[in-house]
């Protein structure tokens, strides 16, 4: 029984390590003036660093430094009602070997803080 538990624990550890060190390949689309306006789009790849993102090295460094940079705001979180602007972003692809599809907006204090955590990814110029 202990052998089975040890094998299961090892398999879970290996799977977690593979996901943590997996590939990062993202498609980023940002609407600076809101969803009805023009958009900017970039590709970003980390390890090895590549793509069309203008600040690839900085973006990959920020993503590597955060445990879960794409975590959503918890539903029970109390957020200040501050409007940060009409900007909208969509990030899709693979992050640390896991599929990713997430949106960013600036509709309240929590969403603004979430945007700011990865701002080099979303607003790399200007």
Give the whole-angstrom CA distance, residue 121 versus residue 126: 13
Query: Using CA atoms, how far apart are residues 68 and 84, in angstroms rounded to an integer?
Result: 22
Number of domains making up the chain:
1
Terminal Cα distance for the chain, rounded: 60
Measured in whole angstroms, the distance separating CA 89 from the mean position of its chain's CA atoms is 11
C-alpha 30: how far from its chain's center? 13
Full-model pTM? 0.79
pLDDT in tens, 11-60: 334 344 444 458 999 999 999 999 989 999 999 999 999 999 999 999 99
CATH number of the domain bearing residue 47: 3.30.350.10
Contacts of 36 (CB under 8 A, 6+ apart): none
Q: Partners of 104 in the beta sheet? A: 89
Its domain, for residue 97, covers: 23-71+79-122
Token pair belonging to 64: 């590597």
Q: Does residue 2 lie in a domain region?
A: no
């Amino acid at each position: 029984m202990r052998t089975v538990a040890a094998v299961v624990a090892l398999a879970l550890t290996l799977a977690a390590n593979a996901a943590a060190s997996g590939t990062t390949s993202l498609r980023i689309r940002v609407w600076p003036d809101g969803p009805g306006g023009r958009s900017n789009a970039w590709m970003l790849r980390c390890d090895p660093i590549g793509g069309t993102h203008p600040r690839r090295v900085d973006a990959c460094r920020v993503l590597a430094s955060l445990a879960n940079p794409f975590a959503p705001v918890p539903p029970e979180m109390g957020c200040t009602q501050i409007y940060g602007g009409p900007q909208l972003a969509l990030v899709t692809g693979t992050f640390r070997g896991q599929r990713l599809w997430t949106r960013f907006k600036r509709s309240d204090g929590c969403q603004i803080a979430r945007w700011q955590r990865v701002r080099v990814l979303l607003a790399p110029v200007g």
